[in-house]
Structure 1
Protein backbone atom coordinates (compact mmCIF):
# COMPACT_ATOMS: atom_id res chain seq x y z
CA UNK A 1 0.00 0.00 0.00
CA UNK A 2 1.56 3.37 -0.97
CA UNK A 3 2.42 5.55 2.01
CA UNK A 4 0.49 8.48 0.53
CA UNK A 5 -2.75 6.50 0.73
CA UNK A 6 -2.22 6.05 4.45
CA UNK A 7 -2.14 9.79 5.08
CA UNK A 8 -5.25 11.88 5.52
CA UNK A 9 -6.55 13.40 2.31
CA UNK A 10 -6.59 16.78 4.02
CA UNK A 11 -2.96 16.59 5.19
CA UNK A 12 0.05 16.50 2.88
CA UNK A 13 2.76 13.91 3.58
CA UNK A 14 5.30 16.71 4.04
CA UNK A 15 3.25 18.08 6.96
CA UNK A 16 3.21 14.80 8.89
CA UNK A 17 5.56 14.59 11.87
CA UNK A 18 8.65 12.39 11.69
CA UNK A 19 7.20 10.04 14.30
CA UNK A 20 4.04 9.64 12.23
CA UNK A 21 6.13 9.00 9.10
CA UNK A 22 7.99 6.26 10.97
CA UNK A 23 4.69 4.65 11.94
CA UNK A 24 3.40 4.90 8.37
CA UNK A 25 6.58 3.33 6.96
CA UNK A 26 6.38 0.48 9.47
CA UNK A 27 2.70 0.03 8.61
CA UNK A 28 3.59 -0.10 4.92
CA UNK A 29 6.12 -2.91 5.50
CA UNK A 30 3.97 -4.71 8.05
CA UNK A 31 0.87 -4.63 5.80
CA UNK A 32 -1.86 -6.75 7.43
CA UNK A 33 -3.15 -7.76 3.99
CA UNK A 34 0.14 -9.54 3.28
CA UNK A 35 2.07 -12.28 5.10
CA UNK A 36 3.60 -11.15 8.40
CA UNK A 37 6.84 -9.17 8.13
CA UNK A 38 8.75 -6.99 10.60
CA UNK A 39 10.78 -3.96 9.54
CA UNK A 40 14.43 -4.52 10.50
CA UNK A 41 17.62 -2.61 9.69
CA UNK A 42 19.88 -5.01 7.79
CA UNK A 43 23.67 -4.81 8.37
CA UNK A 44 25.55 -3.57 5.33
CA UNK A 45 28.80 -5.56 5.39
CA UNK A 46 27.69 -9.06 6.44
CA UNK A 47 24.29 -8.64 4.83
CA UNK A 48 21.38 -11.06 4.85
CA UNK A 49 20.37 -13.34 2.01
CA UNK A 50 17.00 -11.55 1.84
CA UNK A 51 14.86 -9.48 4.20
CA UNK A 52 13.68 -11.41 7.26
CA UNK A 53 10.10 -12.46 6.59
CA UNK A 54 10.66 -12.03 2.84
CA UNK A 55 7.57 -11.96 0.66
CA UNK A 56 7.22 -13.77 -2.64
CA UNK A 57 8.44 -11.68 -5.57
CA UNK A 58 10.87 -9.46 -3.65
CA UNK A 59 14.26 -9.11 -5.32
CA UNK A 60 17.39 -7.00 -5.01
CA UNK A 61 20.67 -6.33 -6.82
CA UNK A 62 23.80 -5.33 -4.89
CA UNK A 63 27.06 -3.92 -6.21
CA UNK A 64 29.90 -3.48 -3.75
CA UNK A 65 33.45 -2.19 -3.78
CA UNK A 66 35.95 -1.92 -0.95
CA UNK A 67 39.56 -1.13 -0.07
CA UNK A 68 41.65 -2.69 2.70
CA UNK A 69 45.17 -1.78 3.84
CA UNK A 70 46.95 -5.14 4.30
CA UNK A 71 50.24 -3.61 5.56
CA UNK A 72 52.44 -4.58 2.58
CA UNK A 73 49.77 -4.26 -0.14
CA UNK A 74 46.27 -2.92 -0.69
CA UNK A 75 43.42 -5.26 -1.52
CA UNK A 76 40.36 -4.12 -3.47
CA UNK A 77 37.22 -6.19 -3.16
CA UNK A 78 34.26 -6.05 -5.50
CA UNK A 79 31.06 -8.05 -5.59
CA UNK A 80 27.88 -8.45 -7.52
CA UNK A 81 24.96 -10.28 -5.98
CA UNK A 82 21.35 -11.00 -6.79
CA UNK A 83 18.82 -12.05 -4.18
CA UNK A 84 15.16 -12.92 -4.54
CA UNK A 85 12.21 -14.56 -2.76
CA UNK A 86 10.56 -17.36 -4.78
CA UNK A 87 8.02 -17.85 -2.00
CA UNK A 88 7.03 -16.20 1.29
CA UNK A 89 9.77 -16.28 3.96
CA UNK A 90 12.32 -17.96 1.65
CA UNK A 91 15.29 -16.03 0.26
CA UNK A 92 17.86 -17.16 -2.31
CA UNK A 93 21.10 -15.48 -3.39
CA UNK A 94 23.93 -15.82 -5.89
CA UNK A 95 27.11 -13.77 -5.34
CA UNK A 96 30.37 -13.32 -7.23
CA UNK A 97 33.11 -11.78 -5.03
CA UNK A 98 36.37 -10.54 -6.60
CA UNK A 99 39.65 -9.43 -5.00
CA UNK A 100 42.37 -7.36 -6.70
CA UNK A 101 45.75 -6.50 -5.16
CA UNK A 102 48.13 -3.58 -5.46
CA UNK A 103 51.63 -3.65 -3.87
CA UNK A 104 52.70 -0.75 -1.67
CA UNK A 105 56.01 1.01 -2.19
CA UNK A 106 58.68 -0.17 0.21
CA UNK A 107 57.15 -3.61 0.77
CA UNK A 108 60.49 -5.26 0.01
CA UNK A 109 60.29 -8.72 -1.53
CA UNK A 110 56.86 -9.47 -0.11
CA UNK A 111 54.85 -11.45 -2.64
CA UNK A 112 51.58 -9.82 -3.64
CA UNK A 113 48.73 -12.33 -4.06
CA UNK A 114 47.21 -12.91 -7.48
CA UNK A 115 43.92 -11.27 -8.43
CA UNK A 116 40.97 -13.61 -8.31
CA UNK A 117 37.31 -14.33 -8.61
CA UNK A 118 37.30 -15.73 -5.11
CA UNK A 119 34.33 -18.03 -5.36
CA UNK A 120 30.80 -18.63 -6.49
CA UNK A 121 28.44 -18.30 -3.54
CA UNK A 122 24.94 -19.71 -3.48
CA UNK A 123 22.76 -19.27 -0.42
CA UNK A 124 19.32 -19.77 1.05
CA UNK A 125 17.56 -18.35 4.11
CA UNK A 126 14.27 -19.34 5.74
CA UNK A 127 12.49 -17.06 8.25
CA UNK A 128 10.95 -19.56 10.66
CA UNK A 129 9.73 -16.97 13.21
CA UNK A 130 8.13 -13.61 12.38
CA UNK A 131 6.19 -11.85 15.14
CA UNK A 132 4.98 -8.31 14.41
CA UNK A 133 3.68 -7.74 17.95
CA UNK A 134 7.10 -8.59 19.42
CA UNK A 135 8.90 -6.88 16.49
CA UNK A 136 11.14 -9.96 16.34
CA UNK A 137 12.24 -12.25 13.51
CA UNK A 138 14.45 -15.35 13.34
CA UNK A 139 15.89 -17.24 10.39
CA UNK A 140 18.19 -20.11 9.56
CA UNK A 141 20.23 -20.30 6.39
CA UNK A 142 23.07 -21.91 4.50
CA UNK A 143 25.82 -20.54 2.25
CA UNK A 144 27.82 -22.84 -0.01
CA UNK A 145 30.97 -21.25 -1.39
CA UNK A 146 32.79 -22.90 -4.29
CA UNK A 147 36.34 -21.54 -4.00
CA UNK A 148 38.11 -20.88 -7.31
CA UNK A 149 41.78 -20.80 -8.25
CA UNK A 150 43.28 -17.32 -8.60
CA UNK A 151 43.74 -15.77 -12.05
CA UNK A 152 47.43 -16.79 -12.12
CA UNK A 153 46.41 -20.46 -11.87
CA UNK A 154 42.86 -20.24 -13.13
CA UNK A 155 41.50 -23.64 -14.16
CA UNK A 156 44.37 -25.53 -12.48
CA UNK A 157 42.05 -26.64 -10.94
CA UNK A 158 38.94 -24.54 -11.51
CA UNK A 159 37.41 -25.28 -8.09
CA UNK A 160 40.05 -25.51 -5.38
CA UNK A 161 37.84 -26.02 -2.33
CA UNK A 162 34.51 -25.58 -0.66
CA UNK A 163 33.22 -23.61 2.33
CA UNK A 164 30.13 -24.77 4.19
CA UNK A 165 28.41 -22.07 6.25
CA UNK A 166 25.13 -22.72 8.10
CA UNK A 167 23.92 -19.72 10.09
CA UNK A 168 21.27 -18.36 12.45
CA UNK A 169 19.84 -14.83 12.48
CA UNK A 170 17.89 -13.20 15.33
CA UNK A 171 16.65 -9.60 14.93
CA UNK A 172 14.67 -7.30 17.21
CA UNK A 173 13.30 -3.78 16.69
CA UNK A 174 12.99 -1.64 19.82
CA UNK A 175 10.23 0.92 19.34
CA UNK A 176 10.18 2.58 15.91
CA UNK A 177 13.83 3.43 15.39
CA UNK A 178 16.28 1.19 17.26
CA UNK A 179 17.33 -2.15 15.76
CA UNK A 180 19.57 -5.01 16.90
CA UNK A 181 20.62 -8.20 15.10
CA UNK A 182 22.81 -11.26 15.68
CA UNK A 183 24.14 -13.34 12.77
CA UNK A 184 26.18 -16.39 13.77
CA UNK A 185 27.43 -19.73 12.52
CA UNK A 186 30.48 -21.90 11.70
CA UNK A 187 32.49 -21.74 8.47
CA UNK A 188 33.98 -25.10 7.51
CA UNK A 189 36.57 -24.88 4.75
CA UNK A 190 37.75 -27.90 2.76
CA UNK A 191 40.83 -27.60 0.52
CA UNK A 192 40.62 -30.28 -2.15
CA UNK A 193 44.31 -30.60 -3.06
CA UNK A 194 45.67 -30.97 0.46
CA UNK A 195 42.53 -32.46 1.97
CA UNK A 196 42.86 -29.96 4.83
CA UNK A 197 39.71 -28.99 6.73
CA UNK A 198 39.65 -25.88 8.89
CA UNK A 199 36.82 -24.41 10.94
CA UNK A 200 36.13 -20.87 12.07
CA UNK A 201 33.17 -19.51 14.02
CA UNK A 202 31.63 -16.11 13.35
CA UNK A 203 29.46 -13.98 15.63
CA UNK A 204 28.33 -10.77 13.93
CA UNK A 205 26.31 -8.34 16.01
CA UNK A 206 24.86 -5.06 14.77
CA UNK A 207 23.01 -2.09 16.21
CA UNK A 208 21.26 0.59 14.13
CA UNK A 209 19.23 3.74 14.57
CA UNK A 210 16.81 4.56 11.75
CA UNK A 211 16.61 8.32 11.19
CA UNK A 212 13.05 9.51 11.98
CA UNK A 213 10.91 10.06 8.92
CA UNK A 214 13.31 8.28 6.52
CA UNK A 215 14.65 4.87 5.46
CA UNK A 216 18.17 6.09 6.28
CA UNK A 217 20.06 4.69 9.25
CA UNK A 218 23.35 4.87 11.11
CA UNK A 219 24.84 2.02 13.07
CA UNK A 220 27.72 -0.33 13.67
CA UNK A 221 28.61 -3.98 13.06
CA UNK A 222 30.97 -5.99 15.25
CA UNK A 223 32.37 -8.80 13.08
CA UNK A 224 34.02 -11.40 15.33
CA UNK A 225 35.81 -14.59 14.26
CA UNK A 226 37.32 -17.41 16.33
CA UNK A 227 39.67 -19.87 14.61
CA UNK A 228 41.63 -22.30 16.78
CA UNK A 229 43.20 -20.05 19.43
CA UNK A 230 43.03 -16.92 17.26
CA UNK A 231 40.41 -14.19 17.70
CA UNK A 232 39.80 -11.33 15.25
CA UNK A 233 37.30 -8.50 15.52
CA UNK A 234 36.53 -5.60 13.23
CA UNK A 235 34.20 -2.71 14.06
CA UNK A 236 32.30 -1.38 11.05
CA UNK A 237 30.51 1.94 11.60
CA UNK A 238 28.09 2.48 8.74
CA UNK A 239 25.23 4.46 7.29
CA UNK A 240 22.55 3.86 4.66
CA UNK A 241 21.16 6.64 2.50
CA UNK A 242 18.17 6.52 0.17
CA UNK A 243 19.02 8.14 -3.17
CA UNK A 244 15.81 7.15 -5.00
CA UNK A 245 12.56 5.33 -4.24
CA UNK A 246 14.10 1.94 -4.98
CA UNK A 247 17.82 2.66 -4.62
CA UNK A 248 20.06 3.10 -1.59
CA UNK A 249 23.77 3.35 -0.90
CA UNK A 250 25.59 1.91 2.10
CA UNK A 251 28.85 3.44 3.38
CA UNK A 252 30.98 1.33 5.72
CA UNK A 253 34.32 1.86 7.46
CA UNK A 254 36.36 -1.00 8.92
CA UNK A 255 38.38 -0.57 12.12
CA UNK A 256 40.29 -3.72 13.18
CA UNK A 257 40.39 -4.35 16.92
CA UNK A 258 42.17 -7.72 17.04
CA UNK A 259 43.73 -8.33 13.64
CA UNK A 260 47.44 -8.76 13.04
CA UNK A 261 47.79 -8.09 9.31
CA UNK A 262 45.08 -5.58 8.45
CA UNK A 263 44.61 -1.86 9.02
CA UNK A 264 41.67 0.37 8.12
CA UNK A 265 39.24 -0.49 5.34
CA UNK A 266 36.26 1.03 3.58
CA UNK A 267 33.34 -0.40 1.63
CA UNK A 268 30.48 0.97 -0.49
CA UNK A 269 27.33 -0.98 -1.33
CA UNK A 270 24.81 0.11 -3.97
CA UNK A 271 21.39 -1.48 -3.39
CA UNK A 272 18.71 -1.57 -6.08
CA UNK A 273 15.28 -3.09 -5.42
CA UNK A 274 13.29 -3.57 -8.67
CA UNK A 275 9.57 -3.15 -8.17
CA UNK A 276 7.61 -6.35 -7.65
CA UNK A 277 3.96 -7.26 -7.63
Structure 2
Protein backbone atom coordinates (compact mmCIF):
# COMPACT_ATOMS: atom_id res chain seq x y z
CA UNK A 1 0.00 0.00 0.00
CA UNK A 2 2.85 2.33 0.92
CA UNK A 3 4.58 1.61 -2.41
CA UNK A 4 1.37 2.35 -4.31
CA UNK A 5 0.98 5.66 -2.47
CA UNK A 6 4.59 6.62 -3.18
CA UNK A 7 4.21 5.69 -6.85
CA UNK A 8 0.99 7.71 -7.07
CA UNK A 9 2.65 10.75 -5.51
CA UNK A 10 5.64 10.41 -7.79
CA UNK A 11 3.39 10.15 -10.84
CA UNK A 12 1.38 13.19 -9.76
CA UNK A 13 4.56 15.21 -9.21
CA UNK A 14 5.81 14.20 -12.66
CA UNK A 15 2.49 15.16 -14.23
CA UNK A 16 2.52 18.57 -12.50
CA UNK A 17 6.11 19.17 -13.61
CA UNK A 18 5.19 18.22 -17.18
CA UNK A 19 2.16 20.52 -17.16
CA UNK A 20 4.24 23.38 -15.74
CA UNK A 21 6.91 22.81 -18.38
CA UNK A 22 4.30 22.88 -21.17
CA UNK A 23 2.72 25.99 -19.67
CA UNK A 24 6.10 27.73 -19.50
CA UNK A 25 6.87 26.68 -23.08
CA UNK A 26 3.55 28.04 -24.37
CA UNK A 27 4.06 31.27 -22.45
CA UNK A 28 7.53 31.72 -23.95
CA UNK A 29 6.18 30.93 -27.42
CA UNK A 30 3.41 33.53 -27.01
CA UNK A 31 5.94 36.12 -25.84
CA UNK A 32 8.19 35.37 -28.80
CA UNK A 33 5.23 35.57 -31.20
CA UNK A 34 4.15 38.89 -29.70
CA UNK A 35 7.67 40.28 -29.98
CA UNK A 36 8.01 39.18 -33.60
CA UNK A 37 4.61 40.60 -34.55
CA UNK A 38 5.17 43.92 -32.79
CA UNK A 39 8.61 44.19 -34.38
CA UNK A 40 7.06 43.51 -37.78
CA UNK A 41 4.49 46.30 -37.26
CA UNK A 42 6.77 48.84 -35.57
CA UNK A 43 10.23 48.08 -37.03
CA UNK A 44 9.90 46.75 -40.60
CA UNK A 45 12.96 45.74 -42.59
CA UNK A 46 12.94 48.98 -44.62
CA UNK A 47 13.66 52.33 -42.95
CA UNK A 48 10.40 53.93 -41.83
CA UNK A 49 9.46 56.40 -39.11
CA UNK A 50 8.75 54.91 -35.66
CA UNK A 51 5.24 53.65 -34.94
CA UNK A 52 3.68 52.04 -31.84
CA UNK A 53 1.04 49.33 -32.29
CA UNK A 54 -2.27 50.34 -30.65
CA UNK A 55 -5.75 48.78 -30.64
CA UNK A 56 -8.19 51.07 -32.47
CA UNK A 57 -11.79 51.35 -31.19
CA UNK A 58 -14.47 50.07 -33.55
CA UNK A 59 -17.46 52.36 -33.04
CA UNK A 60 -15.87 55.81 -32.82
CA UNK A 61 -12.73 54.92 -34.70
CA UNK A 62 -9.62 56.94 -35.46
CA UNK A 63 -9.01 58.84 -38.66
CA UNK A 64 -5.95 56.66 -39.30
CA UNK A 65 -3.62 54.50 -37.18
CA UNK A 66 -1.65 56.51 -34.64
CA UNK A 67 1.79 57.15 -36.10
CA UNK A 68 0.47 56.39 -39.59
CA UNK A 69 3.04 55.94 -42.34
CA UNK A 70 2.81 57.49 -45.78
CA UNK A 71 0.86 55.30 -48.20
CA UNK A 72 -1.32 53.50 -45.63
CA UNK A 73 -4.96 53.35 -46.63
CA UNK A 74 -8.18 51.70 -45.51
CA UNK A 75 -11.78 51.21 -46.59
CA UNK A 76 -14.53 50.78 -44.00
CA UNK A 77 -18.13 49.71 -44.52
CA UNK A 78 -20.32 49.50 -41.43
CA UNK A 79 -23.89 48.70 -40.44
CA UNK A 80 -25.68 49.16 -37.12
CA UNK A 81 -29.06 48.94 -35.40
CA UNK A 82 -30.26 50.70 -32.25
CA UNK A 83 -33.51 50.09 -30.38
CA UNK A 84 -35.02 53.52 -29.65
CA UNK A 85 -38.17 52.08 -27.97
CA UNK A 86 -40.71 53.78 -30.27
CA UNK A 87 -38.73 53.00 -33.43
CA UNK A 88 -35.58 51.27 -34.65
CA UNK A 89 -32.64 53.24 -35.98
CA UNK A 90 -30.49 51.65 -38.69
CA UNK A 91 -27.06 53.09 -39.38
CA UNK A 92 -24.72 52.62 -42.31
CA UNK A 93 -21.51 54.28 -43.38
CA UNK A 94 -18.84 54.16 -46.03
CA UNK A 95 -15.46 55.71 -45.33
CA UNK A 96 -12.04 55.93 -46.89
CA UNK A 97 -8.96 56.91 -44.92
CA UNK A 98 -5.37 57.33 -46.03
CA UNK A 99 -2.00 58.78 -45.00
CA UNK A 100 -0.56 61.21 -47.59
CA UNK A 101 2.39 61.91 -45.25
CA UNK A 102 3.98 60.18 -42.28
CA UNK A 103 1.81 60.57 -39.14
CA UNK A 104 -0.90 62.48 -41.03
CA UNK A 105 -4.26 60.80 -41.63
CA UNK A 106 -7.18 62.02 -43.77
CA UNK A 107 -10.70 60.64 -44.03
CA UNK A 108 -13.88 61.07 -46.04
CA UNK A 109 -17.09 59.46 -44.74
CA UNK A 110 -20.75 59.23 -45.73
CA UNK A 111 -22.98 58.21 -42.76
CA UNK A 112 -26.62 57.18 -43.34
CA UNK A 113 -29.54 56.87 -40.88
CA UNK A 114 -32.77 55.03 -41.66
CA UNK A 115 -35.73 54.47 -39.33
CA UNK A 116 -38.37 51.78 -38.93
CA UNK A 117 -41.61 52.57 -37.08
CA UNK A 118 -43.05 50.29 -34.43
CA UNK A 119 -46.71 49.20 -34.29
CA UNK A 120 -48.85 52.07 -33.06
CA UNK A 121 -46.19 54.71 -33.70
CA UNK A 122 -46.44 57.49 -36.26
CA UNK A 123 -44.00 59.16 -38.60
CA UNK A 124 -43.67 61.99 -36.09
CA UNK A 125 -42.28 59.51 -33.54
CA UNK A 126 -38.94 59.21 -35.34
CA UNK A 127 -36.53 61.40 -37.31
CA UNK A 128 -36.68 61.29 -41.09
CA UNK A 129 -34.39 59.07 -43.15
CA UNK A 130 -31.28 60.94 -44.22
CA UNK A 131 -27.74 60.96 -45.41
CA UNK A 132 -26.45 62.57 -42.22
CA UNK A 133 -23.58 64.57 -43.64
CA UNK A 134 -20.50 64.76 -45.75
CA UNK A 135 -17.78 64.19 -43.19
CA UNK A 136 -14.12 65.11 -43.73
CA UNK A 137 -11.42 64.73 -41.10
CA UNK A 138 -7.73 64.95 -40.39
CA UNK A 139 -5.48 63.64 -37.61
CA UNK A 140 -1.80 64.23 -36.87
CA UNK A 141 0.23 62.11 -34.43
CA UNK A 142 2.57 64.61 -32.79
CA UNK A 143 4.19 62.18 -30.33
CA UNK A 144 5.35 58.59 -30.82
CA UNK A 145 7.31 57.23 -27.85
CA UNK A 146 8.66 53.73 -28.43
CA UNK A 147 10.20 53.70 -24.95
CA UNK A 148 6.83 54.39 -23.28
CA UNK A 149 4.68 52.61 -25.92
CA UNK A 150 2.66 55.82 -26.08
CA UNK A 151 1.20 57.96 -28.89
CA UNK A 152 -0.56 61.35 -28.81
CA UNK A 153 -2.54 62.89 -31.67
CA UNK A 154 -4.65 65.94 -32.47
CA UNK A 155 -7.46 65.85 -35.00
CA UNK A 156 -10.40 67.68 -36.46
CA UNK A 157 -13.68 66.45 -37.95
CA UNK A 158 -15.92 68.74 -40.01
CA UNK A 159 -19.39 67.62 -41.00
CA UNK A 160 -21.47 69.38 -43.63
CA UNK A 161 -24.95 68.45 -42.39
CA UNK A 162 -27.52 67.49 -45.02
CA UNK A 163 -31.30 67.84 -45.04
CA UNK A 164 -33.64 64.84 -44.89
CA UNK A 165 -33.79 62.63 -47.98
CA UNK A 166 -37.37 63.65 -48.77
CA UNK A 167 -36.30 67.32 -48.82
CA UNK A 168 -33.40 66.87 -51.22
CA UNK A 169 -34.10 68.78 -54.42
CA UNK A 170 -36.81 70.86 -52.74
CA UNK A 171 -34.52 73.06 -50.64
CA UNK A 172 -30.84 73.67 -49.99
CA UNK A 173 -29.01 70.38 -49.51
CA UNK A 174 -26.89 71.60 -46.59
CA UNK A 175 -28.48 72.74 -43.35
CA UNK A 176 -25.46 73.45 -41.12
CA UNK A 177 -22.05 72.38 -39.84
CA UNK A 178 -20.59 70.32 -37.02
CA UNK A 179 -17.14 71.26 -35.69
CA UNK A 180 -15.31 68.58 -33.73
CA UNK A 181 -11.65 69.04 -32.69
CA UNK A 182 -10.29 66.15 -30.61
CA UNK A 183 -7.30 64.75 -28.74
CA UNK A 184 -6.21 61.09 -28.70
CA UNK A 185 -3.89 59.58 -26.08
CA UNK A 186 -3.01 55.87 -26.32
CA UNK A 187 -0.68 53.54 -24.41
CA UNK A 188 0.16 49.86 -24.78
CA UNK A 189 0.95 48.05 -21.52
CA UNK A 190 3.36 45.23 -22.30
CA UNK A 191 2.46 43.28 -25.43
CA UNK A 192 -1.28 42.68 -25.09
CA UNK A 193 -3.08 45.38 -23.10
CA UNK A 194 -4.13 48.66 -24.69
CA UNK A 195 -5.78 51.82 -23.37
CA UNK A 196 -6.92 54.86 -25.36
CA UNK A 197 -8.78 58.11 -24.62
CA UNK A 198 -10.48 60.08 -27.39
CA UNK A 199 -12.03 63.39 -26.32
CA UNK A 200 -13.09 66.82 -27.52
CA UNK A 201 -15.96 69.32 -27.91
CA UNK A 202 -18.66 68.90 -30.55
CA UNK A 203 -20.27 72.12 -31.81
CA UNK A 204 -23.36 71.88 -34.01
CA UNK A 205 -24.38 75.06 -35.84
CA UNK A 206 -27.47 74.99 -38.03
CA UNK A 207 -27.87 77.91 -40.42
CA UNK A 208 -29.76 80.76 -38.76
CA UNK A 209 -29.67 79.13 -35.31
CA UNK A 210 -27.51 79.33 -32.21
CA UNK A 211 -24.63 76.90 -31.81
CA UNK A 212 -25.31 73.78 -29.76
CA UNK A 213 -22.22 72.76 -27.77
CA UNK A 214 -21.52 69.34 -26.28
CA UNK A 215 -18.48 67.38 -25.15
CA UNK A 216 -17.44 63.78 -25.80
CA UNK A 217 -15.13 61.50 -23.82
CA UNK A 218 -14.47 57.99 -25.11
CA UNK A 219 -12.54 55.50 -22.97
CA UNK A 220 -11.17 52.31 -24.52
CA UNK A 221 -9.70 49.14 -23.00
CA UNK A 222 -8.56 46.25 -25.20
CA UNK A 223 -6.73 42.93 -24.97
CA UNK A 224 -4.97 42.02 -28.22
CA UNK A 225 -4.51 38.29 -28.82
CA UNK A 226 -0.86 37.20 -28.96
CA UNK A 227 0.78 37.57 -32.36
CA UNK A 228 -2.32 38.98 -34.07
CA UNK A 229 -4.39 42.13 -34.49
CA UNK A 230 -7.45 40.31 -33.13
CA UNK A 231 -8.76 41.79 -29.90
CA UNK A 232 -11.47 41.85 -27.27
CA UNK A 233 -12.33 45.10 -25.58
CA UNK A 234 -14.70 47.68 -24.20
CA UNK A 235 -15.42 51.12 -25.64
CA UNK A 236 -17.16 53.56 -23.28
CA UNK A 237 -18.81 56.49 -25.09
CA UNK A 238 -19.78 59.40 -22.86
CA UNK A 239 -21.57 62.54 -24.07
CA UNK A 240 -21.97 65.67 -21.93
CA UNK A 241 -24.68 68.02 -23.16
CA UNK A 242 -26.71 70.68 -21.39
CA UNK A 243 -25.24 69.71 -18.04
CA UNK A 244 -26.33 66.09 -18.45
CA UNK A 245 -24.16 63.07 -19.15
CA UNK A 246 -25.15 59.95 -21.10
CA UNK A 247 -23.02 56.82 -21.34
CA UNK A 248 -23.09 53.83 -23.65
CA UNK A 249 -20.99 50.70 -23.11
CA UNK A 250 -19.82 48.97 -26.29
CA UNK A 251 -18.22 45.53 -25.78
CA UNK A 252 -16.42 44.58 -28.98
CA UNK A 253 -14.15 42.19 -30.80
CA UNK A 254 -12.06 42.34 -33.96
CA UNK A 255 -11.10 39.28 -35.99
CA UNK A 256 -8.78 38.98 -38.98
CA UNK A 257 -10.30 37.12 -41.93
CA UNK A 258 -7.31 37.60 -44.25
CA UNK A 259 -3.99 39.48 -44.15
CA UNK A 260 -5.74 42.72 -45.20
CA UNK A 261 -9.35 42.10 -44.17
CA UNK A 262 -10.85 42.31 -40.68
CA UNK A 263 -14.33 42.37 -39.19
CA UNK A 264 -15.36 44.20 -36.03
CA UNK A 265 -18.44 43.26 -33.99
CA UNK A 266 -19.84 45.70 -31.41
CA UNK A 267 -22.76 45.62 -28.96
CA UNK A 268 -24.40 48.74 -27.51
CA UNK A 269 -25.56 48.85 -23.89
CA UNK A 270 -27.03 52.26 -22.94
CA UNK A 271 -26.62 53.22 -19.28
CA UNK A 272 -29.59 54.99 -17.61
CA UNK A 273 -31.16 55.90 -20.96
CA UNK A 274 -34.90 55.06 -20.80
CA UNK A 275 -35.44 55.99 -24.45
CA UNK A 276 -32.73 53.67 -25.78
CA UNK A 277 -32.37 49.90 -25.74
CA UNK A 278 -29.70 47.47 -26.88
CA UNK A 279 -27.96 47.86 -30.20
CA UNK A 280 -25.37 46.26 -32.44
CA UNK A 281 -22.77 47.41 -34.95
CA UNK A 282 -20.68 45.62 -37.58
CA UNK A 283 -17.59 47.09 -39.26
CA UNK A 284 -15.78 45.55 -42.23
CA UNK A 285 -12.19 46.81 -42.58
CA UNK A 286 -10.19 46.40 -45.80
CA UNK A 287 -6.58 47.59 -46.02
CA UNK A 288 -5.24 47.52 -49.60
CA UNK A 289 -1.55 46.72 -49.66
CA UNK A 290 -1.28 45.54 -46.05
CA UNK A 291 1.11 42.57 -45.82
CA UNK A 292 1.75 41.86 -42.11
CA UNK A 293 0.72 38.42 -40.79
CA UNK A 294 -2.01 38.41 -38.07
Counterpart secondary structure, 2:266: strand
Q: Larger radius of gyration, structure 1 or 2?
A: 2
Aligned partners of 2:77, 2:35: CA distance in 1, in Å? 30
Match of 2:181 among 132, 145, 166: 166
The Cα shift of 1:276 comes to 6.0
1:21 is the counterpart of 2:36: no
How far apart, CA to CA, are the structure 1 residues paired with 2:53 and 2:210?
42
Write the distance in 2 (CA, Å) between the matches of 1:140 and 1:241. Answer: 28
Q: Which residue of 1 aligns with 2:247?
A: 233
Q: 1:263, 1:72 → 2: CA distance? A: 10
Which residue does 1:73 correspond to in 2? 87
TM-score, structure 2 normalization = 0.86
CA RMSD of aligned residues (A): 1.5
**What is the aligned counterpart of 2:218 among 176, 193, 204?**
204
Q: Secondary structure at the match of 1:22?
A: helix
* TM-score (normalised: structure 1): 0.91
Q: Does structure 2 retain, via aligned residues, the 8 Å contact 1:231–1:258?
A: no
Aligned to 1:52: 66
| Partner residue, 1:137 | 151
- Which one of 149, 152, 172 corresponds to residue 157 of structure 1? 172
SS in 2 for 1:196: coil
Counterparts in 2 of 1:34-45, with a 5 A limit? 34-45=48-59
Runs of 4+ in 1 over 4 A off after TM superposition: none
Q: 1:176 to 1:159 in 2, by over 3 A?
A: same
The separation in 2 between residues aligned to 1:98 and 1:204, in whole angstroms, is 22
Q: Is the 8 A contact 1:187 1:200 kept in 2?
A: yes
Structure 1 unaligned runs (5+)?
A: 1-15
Task: Provide closer, same or farther for how the CA distance between residues 101 and 108 of structure 1 changes in structure 2, counting only shifts above 3 A.
Answer: closer
Which structure shows the bigger proportion of residues in helix conformation? 2
- Give the Cα separation in 2 of the matches to 1:109 and 1:86: 44
Distance in structure 1 (CA, Å) of the matches to 2:174 and 2:231: 39
Provide the secondary structure at the position in 1 that maps to 2:125.
coil
CA deviations on 1:195-249 (whole Å, 9 max, x unpaired) are: 2210000000100000123221000011001011221100000000000010000
Contact 2:178 2:204 survives alignment (8 Å): yes
2:106 pairs with 1:92: yes
Q: Among 94, 118, 123, which residue is 1:104 paired with? A: 118
Q: Is the 8 A contact 1:57 1:276 kept in 2?
A: no
Residue 271 (structure 1) aligns with: 285
Partner of 1:11: none
Matched pairs, number: 261
Counterpart for residue 43 of structure 2: 31
Distance 1:108 1:180 in 2: 43
8 Å CA contact 1:208, 1:217 repeated in 2: yes
Q: Is the 8 A contact 2:117 2:123 kept in 1?
A: no
- Residues 109 and 133 from structure 1, CA distance in 2 versus in 1: closer, same or farther, beyond 3 angstroms? closer
